Structure 1
Amino acid sequence: MKNLNRIHLSGLRAVEAVARLGSVKAAADELGVTVGAVSQQVHKTEAQLGVQLFERQNRLLLPTAHVLAMQPHLTSAMSSLSTAIATTQRGREDALTISVAPVFAGKWLVWHLKNFNKMHPGIRVRVEATVDLVDPDMSDVDLCIRVGKGPYPGVKAEQLLHQRVFPVCSPALARQIKEPKDIGKLPIIRDPGQMFTWKTWLDLFGLDESILQDGPTFSDGSLCLDAAIAGHGVFLAWETLAVYAVKSGQVIAPFPERPATGSAYWLVSGKNAPQTKAKKAFGDWLREELQGSIGRPKGADMVEA
C-alpha cells in the first residue's frame, strides 16, 4: 500500500464523490465543503497521479477512462471505511443516530422527542434529517424512519403506522365547506412530490379530481401546510404532518374520513446490526407514541389499507 503515501485521502474522497454523484455541487453537498474545495482536491489528485481524471466542459467535469476504472474500487473502499468507523458506535447503549425525512422530523418528531428523553434520560439521540435513503449497514445510522410501501430487501423493516390523508384548511375557509364537493370551489394547494393524489380521498364520495381548482404549488409538505394555515387554500395532508396544527386549531379538518394511501411508516435498521437496548427502547416508544399522538376522529378508519 506504499502507493497511497503520495495521494491524500481527501482528494480520493472528492474524486469518488464527483464520479459517483455526477457533479461537483452534489459532491460538495455530500462532503460538507465548498464547490471550490472539491475542485481543488480533484486538481491536486490529478497532479499527484499524473493523469487527467475529468475533462472540463462548460463548468462540467466529465469522467475520463481513468476515473471510470477507479470509481468502483474507490466507492467500495470508502464504504469499507465508513463501515469501519460505524463499528465504533454500534452496540453503544447510550447513543442513537436516527435518519428521518425532514418533514417528519420537523412536524412530528421534534414535538414528541422530549417524551422519549424523559423516559430514557441516559440515551442521547442524534437526528439526521435527510431524504436520502441510508443503508444502516454501511453508515453510522442506527435506525431510519421512512415512508413507503415496503417491504425493503436487505434491511430489517418493521411497519409502524399506515399513512392516512385528509383535507385541511384555515378556519375561515372551513366555514365555506358544508359537504365534500364544496372543496371544488376553493383553491387547492399542491405538492408535486407527494406519493399520493386527491383521488385517494375523493373516491370515498364518488367525486373526481376534475372538480379541483388551481392553487399555489410548493415543493415541500411543510410549506404546503403553512400555506393552508395562512388561508391560501385546501391541502390534502397526512396525519404526522398536520396532527399538531389540527389539535392547536391552526387548521380545520372539515371531514373525519382519513383513507389509507397504501404507504406506511417503517422503522428500518441494518440487517447485520445487533439489537441494542437503546434501539429497542426507541422502537417501543416510537410505536406507542405514533399511535397515541394521531387522535383519529370517529369514522377516520373507514377505509383500511
Structure 2
Amino acid sequence: MRYVLPPMHTLRALEAVSRWRSFASAADELHLTASAVSHQIRALESFYGSKLLQRNHHDVTMTPAGEQLLGVVQELLQRLSEVGESLRRRDTRRLSITAPPSLVSRWLMPRLGGFLGRHPDIDFRLHATTQLLDLDAGQADFAIRYGAGAWPDTRSEKILEERLFPVASPRYLSRVAKRSGLRGLTLLRDDFHGWEPWSAATGQSLDGSIHGATFSDSALLLQAAEEGHGVALGRSTLAEGALASGCLVRVGKGETMSQHAYYLIASSRRTDTAPAQAFRQWLLDPASA
C-alpha cells in the first residue's frame, strides 16, 4: 500500500502550536525559530489544501480542518511514543557478544550457563565468528579477540593469558610409545602458532619430526589431535577441558607463554549498558572462570 503522508516534522509543529497556542512558545519547545515553525505550518496547509490554524493578534486557534487532523496526529504521536519506549526498554536488556568459534566451543560454552542462569532476563545473543563486527555501530556490545591488545578506538581488558605445550591423544601416543621426544611424531599446527618459535623458546628439538596438517581454526586442531592424527601445539585455554577429561594428554614438559592473549574489547565511543556491565563483571570475576 502506498501512503501519502506529509513530513513528520510538520505534524510535530502542528501539535506543539495547538498546545501552546503560540508560534513562539512552540518554536522554543522544538528548538526552532518562530519563522521556521510558521513555514512548517504553511507547508502542511499546502499539502492538505486546507487552512489548519487561525492566526489572531494575540492567539492561535484551530480551524475545523485543523481539529480533525490534530486528533489523528495526537493519537499517532502518542502511539509512536509508547512503542518507542517499549523498544528502548527491550533493547536495554539486550546483550550481544562476538567471539572466535574456537574460544566459544572450547572455553565459553562450558561456563556460559552460570551467567545465563544468573541473568535470565537478559536477551543474550552470541556471534561465534572471526569477522570483526562494528562495535561503534552497536553490532555487538563486546568482542572477545585474540591478539596483542591494541585495537583502534576500543577499550580493551586482558581476560586470558595462554601457555603453549604439545598435546596428543593417549591412543596416538600408544602407537608411538617407543619414540623419543618429538622425533618421528606428526606435528599438527594452526595459523596462530608455529612449532619453530616454540622449539626455540623451549630448547626442544624438532629433528626427525613430521610436518602434519595446518588448521585455520584452533578448535579443529585440537579435535584432530583428539582423533589421533598427531601432536598439536596446544593452547592452555582451549585444551584445558580435553586435558581434564583425558581426551588429550601433554607430551613432554616443554612449555612457553604465548605473546598473545584474549581480550574483552568494547567501543570507546559507547557506554556499557546494564547487561554489558553484568557480563563484564562476570567474565572478569575469577570465581566465574
| TM-score range for the pair, normalised by the shorter chain length | 0.5 to 0.7
Q: For residue 149 of structure 1, what is the aligned residue in structure 2?
A: 148
Inter-partner Cα distance in structure 2 for 1:255 and 1:111 = 27
Matched to 1:165, the amino acid is: L
Q: For residue 82 of structure 1, what is the aligned residue in structure 2?
A: none
Inter-partner Cα distance in structure 1 for 2:170 and 2:250 = 9
Q: Could you tell me the percent identity over the aligned residues?
A: 33
**Gaps spanning 5+ residues in structure 1: where?**
1-87, 294-305
Question: Judging changes above 3 Å, is the alpha-carbon distance between structure 1 residues 157 and 255 closer, same or farther for their aligned structure 2 residues?
Answer: same
Q: For residue 195 of structure 2, what is the aligned residue in structure 1?
A: 198
Matched to 1:206, the amino acid is: G
Matched to 1:166, the amino acid is: F
Q: Deviations over 1:239-278 (max 9, x none)?
A: 2221111111111113455422210111011111112221
Inter-partner Cα distance in structure 2 for 1:203 and 1:140 = 41
**8 Å contact kept, 1:187–1:232:** yes
Say whether 1:166 aligns with 2:153. Answer: no
Question: Judging changes above 3 Å, is the alpha-carbon distance between structure 1 residues 207 and 89 closer, same or farther for their aligned structure 2 residues?
Answer: farther
Inter-partner Cα distance in structure 1 for 2:132 and 2:236 = 22
**SS at structure 2 position matched to 1:217:** strand
1:174-253 equivalences under 5 Å are: 174=173, 176=176, 182-191=181-190, 193-194=191-192, 196-253=193-250
Question: Judging changes above 3 Å, is the alpha-carbon distance between structure 1 residues 105 and 273 closer, same or farther for their aligned structure 2 residues?
Answer: same
**Gaps spanning 5+ residues in structure 2: where?**
1-86
Question: Judging changes above 3 Å, is the alpha-carbon distance between structure 1 residues 90 and 203 closer, same or farther for their aligned structure 2 residues?
Answer: farther
Q: How many residue pairs were aligned?
A: 202
Inter-partner Cα distance in structure 2 for 1:147 and 1:225 = 17
Q: For residue 268 of structure 2, what is the aligned residue in structure 1?
A: 271
Give TM-score scaled by structure 2 length.
Answer: 0.62
Q: Deviations over 1:65-93 (max 9, x none)?
A: xxxxxxxxxxxxxxxxxxxxxxx779944
Structure showing greater radius of gyration is 2
**8 Å contact kept, 2:99–2:129:** yes
**SS at structure 2 position matched to 1:190:** strand
Q: For residue 257 of structure 2, what is the aligned residue in structure 1?
A: 260
**8 Å contact kept, 1:199–1:208:** no
Structure 1 or 2: more strand by fraction: 2
Report the aligned-residue RMSD: 2.7
Matched to 2:239, the amino acid is: A
Question: Judging changes above 3 Å, is the alpha-carbon distance between structure 1 residues 163 and 122 closer, same or farther for their aligned structure 2 residues?
Answer: same
Give TM-score scaled by structure 1 length.
Answer: 0.59
